[in-house]
């Protein structure tokens, strides 16, 4: 997990938050009286969105997602500048592991893809009473579980840190980790309320407030970095995380009230629909728990590589997850509802075609992203993080694991889209079995590789185990759906040729870029410009070779983008006299 992610709001990997389908529906006008007392027609109107409302809400959600990504990156840059790769930063990162585990497994799991379908089903039938009874039962059960486990973690924080999470940290930073973990245990409780509100509101086609919640969360952490860290250090940042978690829920509370909130302090295990939620929940919880335990294990190994080990590995992971979040999560989110509908209609062949149509642009973009991230790793680390306490030594610690994470980027993307495909086929067992199996493999690989390779060995072990997981899922899916689509092999060959050409180009540019982007070697604005120039040249080269090779995805990705950017460029040119004259001459 990324420091400050606070339960994965912007966390990477197979985030439970991301597995909740968001159908892009709008947020209609909500009744001013509780839904239980409103007429049936009024209640149904609450859950029906006009096309204009759908478009408006989809735009709000999209903008909020982009803004959240930007704030998340700003948060990480500020954190790096304040704390670098020091022991305090590693203690802070390690302190998040158990709170993140509790949040993602219990609260996010309960109110993710398991809760929304059942709750929404009651709403669609106009049965508000049972819907709110179900929401109350799930919330109370999850809250009770997380309170009990948080209390146990608070008491046992010392042994948990010293023997499980960070056994290799120096005693000073182990003690700091214990203190921070106890403080951060408030975060999953408050974030849990926020994710519960998110699930309830999204089931009622109310997406605006849930989309804004991560923004206030990240803004609170950024505020803490600017205001609380100077006088209170890393403890002030942890307080900011807790405040952000509280605001994450508070901003959604008005929407809950308008929707007819009827929470009761009771727990009825025989509530209608609760058994259906548990049936859907258990496989997802097991899979998410396996994924998070995997990270706890890797963190323990990283702690033995010095006090900078944990945070250096986290920085590298976060950089790898930037393209993963933009590409893999976006593609899998788009194709999931269609695949689920096709499977429910018994159209397995159409599902297979939809999967391949999503897989092709994903591979076409992810492969060059992995190559660029690998070749330009030194420049990327230095330009994004290289200021303040994050010096050249910090950059040297982060770049090697980023190289091996980059080589695994394609497999992480495959696992994301393959897992969604199995979920669309109503098969939650296969991804869970594969995920649990690779834990054993990853532990063995970590133990074997950390000695000769250090942190790079841990990154390599995660990439290798993810490659095995992707292979298992792909083999099972092919056997279940039949042979690949015709022409896929030749298409992949052409993309591979374009990728090899890209590799030669970036390999030639990488040494010079690495030299000039070392922190302090040149003005920062020049370093940013040179990195952008190198990435632009690499992208143009990849596109040109793709065009020569007849790769169709170039037109599918590039042409729509060009159509969107052209009007913006023309408007910008009109505002700059010289560019405006050039544009007018081109038209003539």
> CA 205 to CA 46: how far, in whole Å?
8
> CA 3 to CA 523: how far, in whole Å?
28
Confidence of residue 340 (pLDDT cuts 50, 70, 90): confident
Residues 6+ apart with CB under 8 A from 305: 168, 450, 454, 455
Distances from the Cα of 560 to the Cα of 53, 338, 536, 576, angstroms: 24, 21, 18, 25
Which spans in 409-523 are helix H? 409-424, 429-453, 455-481, 488-516
Nearest to 81 by CA among 314, 383, 516: 383
Rounded (5°) CA angle 239-240-246: 95
Rounded (5°) CA angle 15-160-291: 20
Q: Read off the pLDDT of residues 229-243 as tens digits, 9 standing for 90 and up.
A: 999 999 999 999 999
Confidence of residue 285 (pLDDT cuts 50, 70, 90): confident
User: Is the Cα torsion angle 274, 280, 282, 284 positive or negative in sign?
Assistant: negative
pLDDT at residue 48 greater than cutoff 50: no
Distances from the Cα of 230 to the Cα of 104, 173, 234, 236, angstroms: 31, 19, 9, 8
pLDDT of residue 25: 28
Place of tokens 């923004």: 215
- First CA to last CA across the chain, in angstroms? 55
- Helix 348-375 with 455-481: angle, nearest 10 deg: 160
According to the per-residue pLDDT averaged within each range, which of 37-51, 442-456, 488-502, 512-526 is highest?
442-456
> CA 66 to CA 135: how far, in whole Å?
30
pLDDT at residue 442 greater than cutoff 70: yes
> CA 476 to CA 152: how far, in whole Å?
40
- Give the tokens for residue 119: 């709750």
User: Is the Cα torsion angle 313, 317, 320, 322 positive or negative in sign?
Assistant: negative
- Give the tokens for residue 548: 């020569």
Using alpha carbons only, how large is the chain's radius of gyration in Å? Answer: 24
> CA 360 to CA 345: how far, in whole Å?
24
Q: How many residues does the chain have?
A: 588
Is residue 347 left, alpha or beta, with left meaning phi > 0 and alpha meaning psi from -120 to 50?
Answer: beta
Confidence of residue 560 (pLDDT cuts 50, 70, 90): very low
> CA 67 to CA 215: how far, in whole Å?
7
According to the per-residue pLDDT averaged within each range, which of 192-206, 412-426, 472-486 is highest?
412-426
According to the per-residue pLDDT averaged within each range, which of 28-37, 103-112, 430-439, 454-463 is highest?
454-463
Residues 6+ apart with CB under 8 A from 188: 7, 99, 100, 102, 103, 106, 107, 146, 150, 245
Q: How far is CA 233 from the centre of its chain?
A: 27
The 10 Å Cβ neighbour count of residue 289 is: 18
Nearest to 252 by CA among 291, 298, 320, 203: 203
């Amino acid at each position: 997990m990324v420091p400050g992610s606070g339960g994965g709001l912007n966390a990477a990997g197979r985030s439970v938050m991301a597995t909740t389908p968001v159908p892009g529906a709008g947020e209609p006008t909500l009744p001013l009286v509780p839904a239980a007392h409103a007429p049936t027609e009024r209640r149904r109107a609450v859950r029906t969105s006009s096309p204009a409302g759908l478009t408006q809400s989809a735009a709000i959600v999209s903008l909020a997602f982009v803004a959240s990504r930007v704030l998340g990156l700003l948060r990480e840059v500020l954190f790096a500048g304040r704390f670098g790769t020091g022991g305090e930063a590693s203690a802070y990162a390690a302190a998040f592991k158990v709170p993140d585990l509790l949040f993602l497994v219990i609260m996010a799991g309960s109110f993710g893809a398991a809760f929304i379908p059942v709750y929404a089903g009651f709403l669609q039938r106009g049965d508000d009473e049972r819907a709110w009874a179900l929401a109350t039962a799930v919330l109370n059960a999850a809250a009770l579980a997380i309170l009990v486990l948080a209390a146990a973690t608070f008491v046992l924080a010392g042994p948990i840190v010293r023997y499980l999470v960070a056994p290799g940290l120096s005693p000073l930073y182990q003690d700091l980790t214990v203190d921070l973990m106890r403080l951060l245990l408030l975060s999953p409780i408050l974030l849990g309320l926020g994710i519960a509100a998110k699930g309830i509101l999204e089931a009622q086609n109310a997406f605006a407030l849930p989309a804004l919640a991560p923004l206030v969360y990240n803004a609170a952490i950024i505020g803490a970095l600017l205001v609380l860290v100077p006088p209170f250090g890393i403890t002030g940042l942890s307080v900011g995380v807790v405040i952000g978690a509280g605001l994450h829920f508070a901003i959604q509370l008005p929407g809950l009230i308008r929707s007819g909130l009827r929470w009761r302090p009771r727990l009825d295990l025989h509530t209608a629909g609760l058994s259906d939620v548990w049936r859907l929940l258990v496989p997802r919880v097991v899979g998410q728990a396996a994924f998070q335990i995997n990270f706890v294990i890797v963190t323990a190994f990283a702690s033995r590589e010095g006090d900078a080990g944990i945070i250096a590995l986290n920085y590298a992971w976060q950089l790898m997850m930037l393209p993963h979040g933009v590409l893999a999560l976006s593609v899998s989110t788009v194709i999931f509802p269609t695949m689920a509908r096709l499977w429910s209609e018994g159209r397995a062949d159409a599902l297979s075609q939809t999967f391949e149509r999503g897989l092709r642009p994903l591979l076409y973009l992810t492969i060059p992203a992995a190559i660029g991230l690998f070749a330009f790793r030194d420049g990327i680390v230095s330009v994004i993080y290289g200021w303040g306490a994050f010096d050249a030594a910090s950059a040297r610690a982060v770049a090697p694991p980023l190289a091996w994470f980059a080589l695994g980027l394609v497999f992480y993307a495959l696992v994301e889209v393959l897992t969604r495909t199995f979920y669309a086929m109503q098969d939650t067992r296969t991804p869970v079995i594969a995920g649990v199996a690779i834990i054993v493999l990853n532990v063995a690989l970590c133990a074997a590789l950390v000695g000769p390779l250090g942190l790079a060995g841990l990154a390599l072990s995660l990439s290798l185990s993810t490659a095995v997981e992707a292979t298992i899922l792909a083999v099972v899916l092919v056997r279940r759906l039949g042979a690949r689509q015709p022409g896929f092999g030749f298409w992949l060959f052409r993309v591979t040729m374009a990728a090899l050409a890209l590799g030669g180009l970036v390999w030639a540019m990488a040494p010079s870029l690495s030299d000039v982007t070392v922190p302090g070697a040149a003005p920062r604005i020049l370093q940013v410009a040179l990195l952008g120039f190198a990435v632009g040249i690499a992208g143009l080269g990849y596109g040109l070779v793709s065009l020569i090779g007849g790769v169709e995805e170039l037109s599918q990705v590039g042409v729509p983008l060009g159509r969107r950017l052209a009007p913006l460029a023309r408007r910008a040119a009109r505002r700059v006299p010289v560019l405006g004259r050039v544009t007018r001459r081109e038209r003539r």
